Amino acid sequence: MLSAIGLIELTSIAKGYEVADTMLKAAHVEIITNRSICPGKFMVLVGGDVDAVHAAVEAGLEIGGSTVVDDLIIPNIHPAVFPAISGTTLVEHPDALGIIETFSVATIIEAADAAVKAADVRLINIHLAMAIGGKGYLTLTGDVAAVTAAVEAGVAYIREKGMLVQKVVIPHPRKEIVQDKI
């Protein structure tokens, strides 16, 4: 099981491939996702043990240079983050719905990890920058108080970076707004 994740978000697709190769050669990590994202950016997300992820990200940042938009390392990543990134979490009807929207992939993953660690909520989806102008957003559910606390924890973590677009908590959302959308 992966205990840490690291991500580098770049302005160059070509440089993104080089960074991914460098990260894999620098340490024993595995690629979680390695792809272009909107608008013409590239992201490399790796997982492994904490030391390996640190070594891989450091090597990638050195090669990425001025093309790096953002990066992250999260040791002891919450296990709920992985199925939310892959979109495999199913929720029939959320009690309350929390949404956080950010300007970067790195900050939405950081917000998701902080949110799920702060309160008894379920991450539903972490959308990573495709077809939304390079932004990221997450959805989560639980009771209203827990969702509110989780959203505030996620927002507090990323607000200092200036990457917050918006946050919303909807108590008892109508099922029509969440069907096939989260």
What are the DSSP E strand ranges found in 49-106? Answer: 68-75, 96-102
List, in sequence order, every residue forming a beta bridge with 128; answer none if it has no partner. 136
Residues of the chain with CATH 3.30.70.1710: 4-75, 81-178
The structure's pTM equals: 0.81
pLDDT at 114: 94
In angstroms, rounded to a whole number, what is the distance separating the alpha carbons of residues 169 and 175? 15
Domain over 81-178 is classified CATH 3.30.70.1710: yes
Virtual CA dihedral for 67, 43, 137, 75, nearest 10 degrees?
Answer: -100
Kindly report the CA angle at 101 between 96 and 105, in degrees rounded to 5? 125
Domain over 4-75 is classified CATH 2.30.42.10: no
Total length of the chain: 182
pLDDT at 94: 73
- pLDDT tens, residue by residue, 48-57: 999 999 999 9
- pLDDT tens, residue by residue, 5-23: 999 999 999 999 999 999 9
The series of mean pLDDT values per 10 residues for the chain, 182 residues long, is 89 95 96 86 93 97 95 90 72 83 89 95 85 81 96 90 91 76 48
In angstroms, rounded to a whole number, what is the distance separating the alpha carbons of residues 129 and 127? 6
